Amino acid sequence: MNFERGSKNNPTGNLIAYCHVQGENPIAPGGKLIASNVVVSFLKLGENFPVVTFPPIALSSKEELLQILTHTIDLYDVVQLPEFRLPSGKDEGNAYIQERMEQFNSLVMRYVEFCKAKEVKDKKSGVTPVSDEPLETLANLSIEFRNSSGIAREATKLKMDRLVNLFQSNYPQFDIENFRKALQFPGQLGDELIGLYIQKFHAIRSENYEGASDIKRKILAIEDTVF
């Protein structure tokens, strides 16, 4: 299962599955994407997790799906399915659609199993409450951005851009533009750089300017090697 956002270890219970279409779209002529929403409720009935699979829809473009996801990306897991190519023959086409439906049903069953496993894990460890503190929001969204891909990454980037613009207006003491640049640096060193920026912002906010200065030196040492 190719997660563009989210993971099998920590599913939200709210999945968007989509695929690109080459050739005829059986749902709507001209549609370049097919997408479906799967919702798994953690309010289980006995040992069963209620599941709602909404009918697939056709979208005209990748941009249309991106527009839908941009404002609500944090609510969803996003999975890209293999490309849809409908054969030209009627019998072959029907067989292909049946095969794709079986593959999709298998994906739904696997996703439900991920949700079940999460519920067991949460019972054992306890659930950590989500903080609405601005710097925690920035840190969490930066992790989401760096761990996502495809359309989910693009939607998260748009949300990140709005948050960065908000920080520029409300927290001018933070060098948020350099933080934005650091988001693009790949790998473990990039993760370390993002973490240092968040630590520095916390230090500045608590008026620990000596600590902020020490962290800034660490940031510059990394940036000198990569930029």
pLDDT of residue 98: 94
Residue 125 has pLDDT above 60, yes or no: no
pLDDT one-digit tens code per residue, 40-92: 988 877 778 899 999 999 999 989 998 888 878 888 999 999 999 999 899 99
Residue 138 has pLDDT above 70, yes or no: yes
Element of type H or E holding 3: strand 3-5
The CA distance from 167 to 144, in Å, is: 18
Please list, in sequence order, all residues whose beta carbon lies within 8 angstroms of the beta carbon of residue 201, skipping any fewer than 6 positions away: 135, 138, 171, 174, 179
Contact 31, 182 (CB under 8 A): no
Residue ranges of domains in the chain: 3-125, 134-226
What SS3 class is residue 73?
helix
Average pLDDT over residues 147-164: 87
Residue 143 has pLDDT above 90, yes or no: no
Average pLDDT over residues 164-174: 84
pLDDT of residue 190: 86
Q: How much of the chain, in percent, has pLDDT values that exceed 90?
A: 37
Average pLDDT over residues 190-199: 90
pLDDT one-digit tens code per residue, 170-186: 888 888 888 888 888 88
Buried b (16+ CB within 10 A) or exposed e, 2-34: ebbbbeeeebbbbbbbbbebeeebbbeeebbbb
Residue 127 has pLDDT above 50, yes or no: no
Burial (CB < 10 A; 0-12, 13-18, 19+), residue 101, is: exposed
pLDDT of residue 58: 96
What SS3 class is residue 206?
coil
How large is the C-alpha radius of gyration of the chain? 21
The CA distance from 85 to 177, in Å, is: 43
pLDDT of residue 131: 41
Confidence of residue 130 (pLDDT cuts 50, 70, 90): very low
The 10 Å Cβ neighbour count of residue 68 is 16
pTM tops 0.85, yes or no: no
Spacing of C-alpha 57 from chain mean position: 21
Is the model more confident about 53 or about 207? Answer: 53
Mean residue pLDDT of the chain comes to 86
Element of type H or E holding 5: strand 3-5
